[in-house]
Amino acid sequence: MRSIRLIPASAIALLAVVFGSLAAPNGPQYDDLRSMGMGGTTVAVTTDRTAIFHNPAGLGMLKDAVQISVRPAVVGFDRQLFSDLKILMRNKNAFSNVNDIDTNVMKDLDKIDGQWALLQYMPEITMAKKNLGFGVYSVMPFNARLESGHFIPKLGFKGQRDLVFTWAVGIPLKNKNNFFGISLAYLQRTPLDERITSYSETFSYANDLGNNMLSAFGILDNLAVIQHGAAFSVGFMHNLKGFRIGWDVKDLFAVVGGKMVIPRLDLGCAYYFPKIEKVKIIRNIIISAEASNLIGFEDRTGRYEQFPKKLHAGAEIDLKYLALRGGINQGYPTFGVGVAFGPLKIDYVYYTSEGGYYAGQLPVGPMHVFSLGFEINAGKRRTGPETSSVNEEPAKAEPAPAVEEPPVEEIPPTPETNEGTTAPEAPAQEPQAPAPAPTEQGTGTAE
């Protein structure tokens, strides 16, 4: 295991340069609302079901015996989407008849001309137990924009849908504070490069989007081609007295659509205040920091991303029924809140990510993401070090002090009866005069 932990970063970076020169695609990116609210920190934070996708080593520190989560409604959108839909609805009749397009319509289009609007759908199902997990999730970002055009307005589309099946195992090492993990994933990808609609498509798609935002994903299916792929990832986590360090290499060996995927190296740390967690109303308090995708390149230009873009930091206070989260993601603030009503889980997060190769160049968002789902945690939550999302080495049990028994009064042996049993002790009696000796009798004649 030591050889695995000491993989030189320079060798991985060299592979990334080779892959980057071949225009290699990026692997799928799983984002859950907890990590998004905490500034995008994942690798040293997740010791629950999300460790299946973020860092499989965290499965060795699972807090509950079994965790099952079903989240069918996870939807995100940016502010630009509302502006676009508002103009689409106001000028719906004009889009259905080119003769109705006047100067007022063109003024509305100028306000949003060429600006991308983002709609994202991210459903998931996960099942995890200690050291083992399986999960399925889909990430469907869909981007659309309106363009004024020369004669009629145009619509532009781009996006991608990833459907990912992942199996993961967390392996405790010889030192009980260390955990190693591996995961295998199968991927279906439906990429859609930027496309401008034709004359007839403009009116058809504008009507569909005006009536139902989710029709965007139907457009994605109609215009894209499915690719297949597979990925192998590894991770490590070390825990010591509330301080946790983790790293993982996602897509260590991965192929999508016949092309090798660039590996993703993440390094992170977290502290979870184990003494505070002994308070009954507090489930978790944690602060974290992370440097992600250390060997990553920017998608559009292929340039190496500057280091500030790779930095994340965050914190969470989990009061069992209410969780508050905040952080900094690639230089942008994030905020999240989670509410639990029994198995019903409701989460919200506000965050912005960077689409360029340096922080502040091309912000994506701000995004608003809502999640509604159900989560079942079977089995009692462990007490002591393991309740805090980590598995500290339990203290050795000290031998119980010897209990002094009262001295036992010695009892003199009692005579045994003919049957070999001990006769009961007779009560003490006062001494009496000896009785006269009886006359001897026998079988012979008397003297």
Domain that holds residue 310: 2-388
Taking only the tens place, the pLDDT of each residue in 347-386 is 999 999 988 888 888 888 889 999 999 998 876 544 444 4
444 located within any domain? no
E strand residue ranges, 209-343: 227-240, 243-256, 259-260, 264-271, 284-291, 311-318, 322-329, 332-341
Q: Contact 298/24 with Cβ under 8 angstroms?
A: no
pLDDT at 13: 47
- What are the structure tokens assigned to 234, written together? 């590894």
pLDDT tens, the chain, 447 aa long = 444 444 444 444 444 444 444 457 788 889 899 999 999 999 999 989 999 999 999 998 887 788 999 999 999 998 888 777 777 777 766 666 656 666 777 777 777 777 888 889 999 999 999 899 999 999 988 888 877 666 666 778 888 889 999 999 999 998 888 999 999 999 999 887 777 777 666 767 766 665 665 566 666 666 667 899 999 999 999 988 889 999 999 999 999 988 888 899 999 999 988 777 677 788 889 999 999 988 877 666 667 788 889 999 999 999 889 999 999 999 999 999 999 998 999 999 999 998 888 888 888 888 999 999 999 887 654 444 444 444 444 444 455 555 555 555 555 554 444 444 444 454 545 455 555 544 444 444 333
> Given the structure tokens 């559009």, which residue do they identify?
300
Residue type, 237: M
Q: Residue 409 burial by CB count (10 A; 0-12/13-18/19+): exposed, middle or buried?
A: exposed
How many residues are present in the chain?
447
Predicted local distance difference test score (pLDDT) of residue 274:
78
Q: Identify the pLDDT of residue 63.
A: 76
Does 447 fall in a domain?
no
Backbone angles phi, psi at 61, to 5 degrees: -120, 25
- pLDDT one-digit tens code per residue, 32-46: 999 999 999 999 999
247 falls within a domain: yes
Tokens of 426: 């007779």
What kind and span of H or E run contains 369? strand 363-378
Pairing of strands 243-256, 259-260: antiparallel
Alpha carbon distance 269, 246 (integer Å): 6
Backbone angles phi, psi at 424, to 5 degrees: -65, 145
Rounded CA-CA distance 213/208 in Å is 8
CA distance 112 to 106: 10
Report d(CA 443, CA 98) in Å as an integer. Answer: 149
Structure tokens at 257: 């659509």
Closest CA to 57 of 306, 389, 301: 389
- Cα–Cα–Cα angle for 231, 137, 131, nearest 5°? 65
pLDDT at 324: 96
Phi/psi of residue 110, each to 5°?
Answer: -65, -30
**Residue that the structure tokens 């999302």 belong to:** 389
CA distance 336 to 345: 13
Q: Is residue 280 part of a domain?
A: yes
The whole-angstrom separation of Cα 242 and Cα 391 is: 9
Domain of 126: which CATH number?
A: 2.40.160
CA angle 314, 316, 318 (to 5 degrees): 170
| 409, part of any domain | no
The bridge status of strand 344-354 relative to strand 363-378 is antiparallel
Rg (CA), the chain: 36
Could you identify the residue written with the tokens 């945690």?
377
Helix (H) / strand (E) containing 74:
strand 66-78
136: alpha, beta or left? (left if phi > 0; alpha if psi -120 to 50): beta
- 62 CB contacts (<8 Å, ≥6 apart)? 47, 48, 49, 51, 128, 129, 130, 131, 170
- What one-character DSSP code corresponds to residue 433? P
- Residue 313: the pLDDT is 97
Q: Does any domain span residue 28?
A: yes
Which tokens hold the place of 271?
């502290």
59 within 8 A of 106, measured Cβ to Cβ: no
pLDDT confidence of residue 88? 72
Query: How many domains, in total, are found in the chain?
Result: 1
pLDDT for position 132: 94
Q: Quick check: is 426 in a domain?
A: no
| Cβ atoms of residues 141 and 117 within 8 Å | no
Residue 108 falls inside a structural domain: yes
Q: Label residue 371 exposed, middle or buried (CB < 10 Å: 0-12, 13-18, 19+).
A: buried
Angle between helices 103-112 and 79-90 (to 10 degrees): 170
